[in-house]
């Protein structure tokens, strides 16, 4: 099986990105895959607490300062086959990580000895987060059924698309685009509907149309609904997927749901560890189902909910 990078984001804080990243990692390690879990939440890293290990505070910093290899920043987690790169660096300013450094980080990450690398992106829609998301093989977004969480996810996808479009615009065929429209869209204060803007880009010529279609086609989102308390909320995943298709023409797959479970709360204060949570009867089959769908690129349908 080819080495894969999974990136987990979602915009809003507290939806369960870290919990799901850690559960996916534990699941993959249980399948005898070599796993590296990356705490990409450079400002507010907390993954190490799920494993009851302390973060190595200087190591990633040292990597960026060229004082150490990335492989030397790996921390043992106590779960066999699963290592962690922790982003907890109190003296570290994530905004100071330049684009080139980020690419270097990815290049080195891909060279590490692993079958799967899972990155917990943390909250927000900073450039770091959007770029890391776009570089991943599996782009995963987590939402709860809360309306603010869904709105944040929707906004996250929009920012991902805008980021992607910015890349495309370096192609000279887009040189003649109306600068006022462009500025308003890129600054997120559109004066035209986003879908009309995409059509406008495509309408600029055959090549332009291909660039936009191919570029947007590379954005393949896997949606996970978390903290489900009532069964009917699980269907939100299907609605969200349909909305992304209709409004942004983005292909999304609904990968599955994880129910709300009190035991998961205990992870945060350290009174439960990830492996014991993973073994819970209501949790393990769900993670198996969601991970399987993400790996295979398959989709949940109504009958499975
Ligand atoms: N399925 C669930 N059932 C119950 N509690 C959950 C569930 N998923 C996550 N939680 C709880 O919700 C809180 C937030 O989870 P988590 O830290 O994974 O979110 P996050 O998206 O990583 O947040 P942040 O954006 O702040 O990094 C934690 O207290 C966690 O225990
Ligand atoms: Mg988190």
- Summarised one tens digit per residue, pLDDT across range 108-151 is 999 999 999 999 998 888 887 898 899 899 999 999 999 999 99
Domain contains 206: no
Contact of 131 with 99, CB cutoff 8 Å: yes
Distance 101 CA to ligand 2 centre (A): 22
Contact of 161 with 250, CB cutoff 8 Å: yes
Domain contains 114: yes
Checking if the pLDDT of 93 tops 70, the result is no
Q: What is the pLDDT of residues 155-190, one digit of tens each?
A: 999 999 989 988 888 888 888 888 888 888 877 776
Task: Using CB atoms within 10 Å of the CB of residue 134, give its burial: 0 to 12 exposed, 13 to 18 middle, 19+ buried.
Answer: middle
Checking if the pLDDT of 46 tops 50, the result is yes
Supply 268's token pair. 């945060």
pLDDT at 249: 85
pLDDT at 94: 56
Domain contains 199: no
Ligand 1 interacting residues, C-beta cut-off 6 A: 13-19, 41, 122-123, 226-227, 258, 260-261, 264-265, 267-268
pLDDT at 172: 83
Residue position matching structure tokens 């507010």: 44
Choosing from 11, 12, 13, 18 the residue with most ligand 1 atoms within 8 A of its CB, the one to mutate for a pocket test is: 18
Q: Which atom of ligand 1 is nearest to the CA of 266?
A: 31
Distance 45 CA to ligand 2 centre (A): 7
Q: Which atom of ligand 1 is nearest to the CA of 21?
A: 18
Distance 179 CA to ligand 1 centre (A): 41
Q: Which atom of ligand 1 is nearest to the CA of 227?
A: 1
Choosing from 156, 233, 265 the residue with most ligand 1 atoms within 8 A of its CB, the one to mutate for a pocket test is: 265
Percent of the chain surpassing pLDDT 90: 54
Domain contains 192: no
CA-wise closest residue to 203 among 236, 221, 177, 172: 177
In angstroms, rounded to a whole number, what is the distance separating the alpha carbons of residues 187 and 197?
13
More confidently predicted of 248 and 227: 227
Contact of 259 with 286, CB cutoff 8 Å: yes
Tell me the ligand closest to 140's alpha carbon: 1
Checking if the pLDDT of 44 tops 70, the result is no
Distance 287 CA to ligand 1 centre (A): 15
Supply 65's token pair. 């300062």
pLDDT at 1: 62
In angstroms, rounded to a whole number, what is the distance separating the alpha carbons of residues 4 and 31?
15
The structural domain count of the chain equals 1
Q: What is the pLDDT of residues 65-80, one digit of tens each?
A: 788 899 998 999 999 9
The answer for residues whose C-beta is within 8 angstroms of residue 81's C-beta and 6 or more apart is 29, 32, 33, 34, 35
The answer for residues whose C-beta is within 8 angstroms of residue 73's C-beta and 6 or more apart is 56, 59, 60, 62, 63, 85
Q: For residues 16-21, give the mean pLDDT.
A: 96
CA-wise closest residue to 136 among 117, 115, 154: 117
Name the band, by pLDDT with cuts 50, 70 and 90, for residue 91. Answer: very low
The kind and range of the H/E element at 40 are none
Domain contains 159: no
Q: Residue 142 phi/psi, 5° resolution? A: -115, 135
Distance 199 CA to ligand 2 centre (A): 36
In angstroms, rounded to a whole number, what is the distance separating the alpha carbons of residues 62 and 91?
12
Domain contains 186: no
Q: Which atom of ligand 1 is nearest to the CA of 10?
A: 21
pLDDT at 90: 41
Checking if the pLDDT of 95 tops 80, the result is no
Q: Whose CA is nearest to atom 28 of ligand 1?
A: 265
Checking if the pLDDT of 209 tops 70, the result is yes
- Residue 125 belongs to domain spanning: 4-145+221-238+252-304
pLDDT at 8: 97
Percent of the chain surpassing pLDDT 70: 92
Distance 144 CA to ligand 1 centre (A): 10
Average pLDDT, the chain: 88
Q: What is the CATH number of the domain that holds 42?
A: 3.40.50.300
pLDDT at 97: 64
Checking if the pLDDT of 64 tops 90, the result is no
Checking if the pLDDT of 88 tops 60, the result is no
Supply 3's token pair. 């080495």
Rg over alpha carbons for the chain, rounded to the nearest Å, is 20
Domain contains 210: no
Q: For residues 88-102, give the mean pLDDT.
A: 59
With b meaning 16 or more CB within 10 Å and e meaning fewer, what string describes 207-237? ebeebbeebbeebebbbbbbbbeeeebbbbb
Domain contains 35: yes
Q: Whose CA is nearest to atom 31 of ligand 1?
A: 265
Checking if the pLDDT of 89 tops 60, the result is no
Distance 44 CA to ligand 1 centre (A): 13
In angstroms, rounded to a whole number, what is the distance separating the alpha carbons of residues 109 and 70?
7
């Amino acid at each position: 099986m080819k080495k894969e990078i999974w990136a987990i984001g979602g915009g809003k804080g507290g939806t369960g990105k870290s919990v799901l990243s850690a559960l996916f990692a534990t699941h993959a390690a249980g399948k005898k895959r070599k796993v590296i879990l990356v705490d990409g939440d450079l400002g507010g890293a907390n993954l190490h607490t799920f494993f009851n290990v302390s973060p190595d505070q200087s190591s990633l910093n040292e990597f960026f300062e060229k004082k150490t290899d990335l492989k030397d920043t790996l921390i043992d987690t106590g779960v066999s086959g699963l290592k962690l790169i922790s982003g907890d660096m109190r003296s570290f300013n994530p905004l100071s990580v330049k684009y080139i450094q980020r690419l270097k980080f990815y290049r080195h990450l891909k060279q590490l000895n692993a079958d799967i690398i899972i990155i917990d992106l943390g909250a927000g829609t900073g450039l770091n987060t959007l770029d890391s998301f776009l570089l991943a093989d599996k782009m995963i977004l987590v939402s709860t059924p809360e309306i603010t969480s869904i709105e944040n996810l929707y906004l996250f996808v929009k920012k991902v698309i805008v980021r992607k479009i910015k890349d495309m615009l370096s192609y000279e065929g887009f040189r003649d685009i109306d600068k006022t429209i462009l500025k308003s869209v890129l600054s997120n204060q559109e004066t035209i509907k986003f879908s009309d803007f995409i059509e406008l880009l495509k309408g600029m010529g055959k090549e332009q149309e291909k660039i936009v279609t191919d570029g947007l086609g590379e954005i393949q989102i896997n949606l996970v609904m978390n903290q489900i308390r009532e069964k009917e909320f699980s269907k939100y995943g299907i609605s969200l997927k349909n909305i992304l298709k209709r409004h942004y023409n983005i292909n999304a797959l609904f990968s599955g749901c994880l129910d709300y479970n009190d035991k998961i709360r205990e992870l945060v204060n350290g009174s439960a560890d990830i492996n014991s949570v993973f073994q819970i009867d209501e949790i393990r089959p769900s993670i198996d189902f969601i991970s399987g769908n993400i790996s295979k690129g398959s989709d949940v349908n109504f009958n499975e909910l």
